């Protein structure tokens, strides 16, 4: 397909307020007089339509002069109408759709350009979304509940692995006994002699565990974060006031985890941190990306996941206003929505908010409110909470914006977590089975009755953004992928030497979980 023509069509449609399906654009681009065809479509498209679909183009072209029809139709052997891939709706509602009560996407015949996308095969299921579930009032009792829930649920697997006792019972055991405890890390201190004292807390109290500097486990101490849940096993000192650690256990992902894959070759673009409204938003790179999505090379990309920071927001960081291109938050979302319209209308979009978005900052962050959903409605994205778990054709994806990664990177040694290898920082979150273990640092937590930040089920893909660095790898067969961004280096980032990976789109094959990276900058 002539990319230039389709890019022009997409931008024309967008400027008139329409989102378009790839097939619709392909058909328009292939028309002998695509400008006239476009005008015709715009005249005929129903008034309430937000998306220009292939059927609209077909209808408009069929009523025009044959010269305006597609080149294929004018060629020597036009395919008889009956031989085309039928433009059908199968009548069956794909599973995921049924569960969300939305109507199935209109299905279209395959295009002249040979698009193989069959919308009836698509399925998006939203498994975890806490939007509308928030019960937290910010009272002290909520903090007690959320940590109790964390210890109960994350401790469950650990309790089956060690012969654990509550803190209060351990204090009463005779010196020299073997003991084990499941608890939240309350404090981590080094002792004068270079050993490590880790205080674990459970519902009955706290107990100190000593990791000797010459033990093999000492290497694990530098990856511990306050408030994470783990189990320790060891021997009580003579006075039973402390225990010497022999082993540590983490909730972790089993090494045997076997990820699910899609039954057909289909791809998802995993991106984040668009930052529309910032002077550094890279409109050219974004346009190159959305133009690419309209090409045959991207024909298998049927899903797009957006991991937060759609817009730059206002008042997120000190002096941020000096680098704003759009100062009004609603106008930022309107501009973002225009950019989203350039994404082919037949790509399913799922998005979560980030720390620059106009939702509460404390995590879990509910999905956007009605007013913002309305602004972004043209492409009809599914808007869910940060974090959320979704399933794409059987492949489960845990989406989390990633603010806690700053913390993991700050607290852990360079070789275990760094901005250059953001996926390695993600591995630690998987090992802790929690997206934001540490309370009271960078990451703000909203106490709820339930801990929505626990990684309950092992995902097949873990998708984050936030640190503006591209990186991916596998941890116990889970694909961890951090998306990079669409914002060039800001003054702040320059001052702290953050060199963002901007203008990249990692594309995941859902049938193999292989990743390819497309560069647009």
CB-count burial class (<10 Å; 0-12, 13-18, 19+) for 218: middle
Q: How many residues of this chain bind ligand D5M (CB under 6 A)? A: 12
Helix/strand/coil (H/E/C) assignment for every residue in 444-474: CECCCCCCCCECCCCCCEEEECCCCCEEEEE
Residue number with the smallest Cβ distance to Zn ion: 466
Counting contacts by CB under 6 A, is residue 466 touching ligand D5M?
A: yes
Which residues are registered as beta bridge partners of 247? 233
Check: CB of residue 85 under 8 Å from CB of residue 116.
no
Among 26, 267, 355, 438, binds Zn ion (CB under 5 A): 355
Counting contacts by CB under 6 A, is residue 227 touching ligand D5M?
A: no
Among 118, 406, 449, 511, binds ligand D5M (CB under 6 A): 406
Sign of the Cα pseudo-torsion (429, 432, 435, 438, in order):
negative
Counting contacts by CB under 5 A, is residue 280 touching Fe ion?
A: no
The window from 124-132, 224-232, 297-305, 463-471 that contacts ligand D5M (CB under 6 A) reads 463-471
Q: Of 123 and 355, which has the nearer Cβ to ligand D5M?
A: 355
Q: Which two tokens stand for residue 497?
A: 């030497």
Element (H, E) at 71: helix 71-74
Counting contacts by CB under 5 A, is residue 357 touching Fe ion?
A: no
Q: Which two tokens stand for residue 101?
A: 């009560």
Among 355, 385, 391, 443, binds ligand D5M (CB under 6 A): 355
Counting contacts by CB under 6 A, is residue 317 touching ligand D5M?
A: yes
Among 309, 312, 346, 411, binds Zn ion (CB under 5 A): 309
Q: How many residues of this chain bind Fe ion (CB under 5 A)? A: 2
Counting contacts by CB under 6 A, is residue 27 touching ligand D5M?
A: no
Q: Of 21 and 407, which has the nearer Cβ to Fe ion?
A: 407
Counting contacts by CB under 5 A, is residue 466 touching Zn ion?
A: yes
Counting contacts by CB under 5 A, is residue 291 touching Fe ion?
A: no
CB of 377 to Zn ion, least distance (A): 24
Element (H, E) at 338: helix 329-341
Q: Of 14 and 355, which has the nearer Cβ to Zn ion?
A: 355
Compute the distance between CA of residue 275 and CA of residue 312 in angstroms, rounded to an integer. 4
Q: What angle do CA 401, 426, 520 make, to 5 degrees?
A: 60
Residue 355: C-alpha distances to residues 192, 263, 282, 456, 500 (Å):
40, 35, 19, 23, 17
Q: Of 215 and 466, which has the nearer Cβ to Zn ion?
A: 466
Counting contacts by CB under 6 A, is residue 507 touching ligand D5M?
A: no
- Supply φ then ψ for residue 344, to 5 degrees: -45, 135
CB of 464 to Fe ion, least distance (A): 11
Check: CB of residue 336 under 8 Å from CB of residue 310.
yes
The window from 162-170, 270-278, 338-346, 424-432 that contacts Fe ion (CB under 5 A) reads 270-278
In what side-by-side order are the strands of the sheet with 301-306?
A: 382-383, 348-351, 301-306, 267-271, 504-509, 515-519
Counting contacts by CB under 6 A, is residue 356 touching ligand D5M?
A: yes
Compute the distance between CA of residue 122 and CA of residue 425 in angstroms, rounded to an integer. 32
The window from 23-31, 218-226, 404-412, 458-466 that contacts Zn ion (CB under 5 A) reads 458-466
Q: Of 112 and 282, which has the nearer Cβ to ligand D5M?
A: 282
Q: Of 360 and 476, which has the nearer Cβ to Zn ion?
A: 360
Compute the distance between CA of residue 510 and CA of residue 260 in angstroms, rounded to an integer. 9
Q: Are strands 124-128 and 178-190 parallel, antiparallel or unpaired?
A: unpaired
CB of 492 to ligand D5M, least distance (A): 4
Sign of the Cα pseudo-torsion (281, 8, 268, 455, in order):
positive
Compute the distance between CA of residue 296 and CA of residue 49 in angstroms, rounded to an integer. 25
Q: Of 182 and 403, which has the nearer Cβ to Fe ion?
A: 403
Among 21, 201, 302, 309, binds ligand D5M (CB under 6 A): 309
Q: What angle do CA 132, 459, 230 make, to 5 degrees?
A: 90
Among 154, 467, 502, 508, binds ligand D5M (CB under 6 A): 467
Counting contacts by CB under 6 A, is residue 468 touching ligand D5M?
A: yes
Residue 12: C-alpha distances to residues 7, 20, 378 (Å):
8, 11, 15
Q: Of 423 and 466, which has the nearer Cβ to ligand D5M?
A: 466
Counting contacts by CB under 6 A, is residue 23 touching ligand D5M?
A: no
**Is omega for the bond preceding 36 within 30 degrees of 0, making it cis?**
no
CB of 409 to ligand D5M, least distance (A): 8
Query: Interface residues with ligand D5M (CB under 6 A)?
Result: 273, 309, 317, 355-356, 406, 466-468, 492-493, 498
Query: Interface residues with Fe ion (CB under 5 A)?
Result: 273, 309
Query: Interface residues with Zn ion (CB under 5 A)?
Result: 309, 354-355, 466
């Amino acid at each position: 397909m002539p990319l230039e023509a389709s890019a022009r069509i997409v931008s024309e449609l967008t400027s008139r307020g329409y989102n378009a399906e790839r097939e619709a654009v392909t058909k328009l681009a292939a028309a002998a007089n695509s400008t006239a065809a476009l005008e015709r479509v715009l005249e005929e498209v129903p008034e309430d339509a937000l998306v220009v679909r292939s059927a609209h183009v077909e209808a408009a072209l069929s009523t025009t002069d044959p010269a305006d029809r597609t080149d294929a139709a004018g060629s020597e052997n036009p395919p008889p109408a009956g031989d085309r891939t039928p433009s059908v709706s199968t009548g069956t509602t794909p599973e995921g759709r049924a569960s969300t009560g939305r109507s199935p996407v209109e299905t279209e015949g395959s295009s002249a350009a040979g698009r193989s996308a069959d919308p009836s095969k698509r399925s998006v299921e939203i498994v975890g979304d806490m939007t509308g579930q928030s019960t937290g009032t910010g009272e002290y009792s909520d903090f007690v509940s959320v940590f109790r829930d964390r210890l109960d649920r994350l401790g469950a697997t650990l309790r089956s692995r060690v012969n654990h006792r509550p803190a209060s019972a351990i204090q009463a055991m005779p010196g020299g006994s073997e003991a084990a405890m499941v608890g939240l890390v309350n404090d981590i201190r080094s002792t004068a002699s270079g050993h490590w004292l880790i205080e674990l807390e459970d519902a009955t109290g706290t107990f100190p565990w000593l990791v000797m500097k010459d033990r093999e486990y000492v290497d694990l101490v530098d990856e511990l974060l306050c408030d994470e849940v783990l189990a320790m096993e060891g021997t009580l000192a003579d006075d039973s006031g402390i225990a010497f650690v022999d082993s540590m256990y983490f909730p972790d992902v089993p090494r045997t985890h076997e990820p699910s894959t899609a039954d057909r070759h289909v791809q998802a673009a995993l991106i984040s941190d668009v930052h529309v409204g910032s002077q550094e938003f890279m409109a050219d790179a974004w346009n190159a990306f959305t133009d690419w999505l309209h090409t045959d090379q991207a024909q298998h990309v049927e899903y797009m996941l957006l991991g937060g920071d759609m817009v730059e927001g206002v008042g997120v960081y000190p002096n941020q206003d000096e680098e704003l291109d759009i100062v009004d938050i609603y106008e930022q979302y309107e501009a973002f929505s225009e950019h989203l319209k350039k994404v082919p209308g037949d790509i399913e979009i799922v998005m979560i908010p980030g720390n620059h978005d106009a939702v509460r900052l404390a995590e879990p962050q509910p999905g956007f409110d009605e007013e913002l959903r309305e602004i972004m409605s043209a492409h009809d994205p599914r808007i869910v909470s940060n974090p959320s778990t979704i399933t794409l054709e059987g492949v489960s994806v845990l989406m989390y914006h990633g603010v806690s990664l700053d913390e993991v990177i700050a607290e852990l040694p360079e070789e275990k977590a760094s901005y250059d290898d953001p996926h390695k920082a993600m591995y630690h979150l998987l090992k802790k089975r929690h997206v934001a273990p540490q309370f009271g640092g960078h990451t703000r937590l909203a106490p709820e009755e339930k801990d929505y930040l626990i990684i309950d089920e092992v995902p097949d893909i873990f998708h984050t953004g936030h640190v503006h660095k591209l990186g991916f790898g596998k941890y116990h067969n889970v694909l961890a992928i951090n998306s990079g961004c669409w914002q060039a280096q800001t003054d702040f980032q320059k001052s702290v030497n953050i060199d963002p990976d901007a203008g990249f789109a990692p594309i995941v094959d859902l049938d193999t979980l292989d990743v390819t990276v497309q560069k647009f900058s």
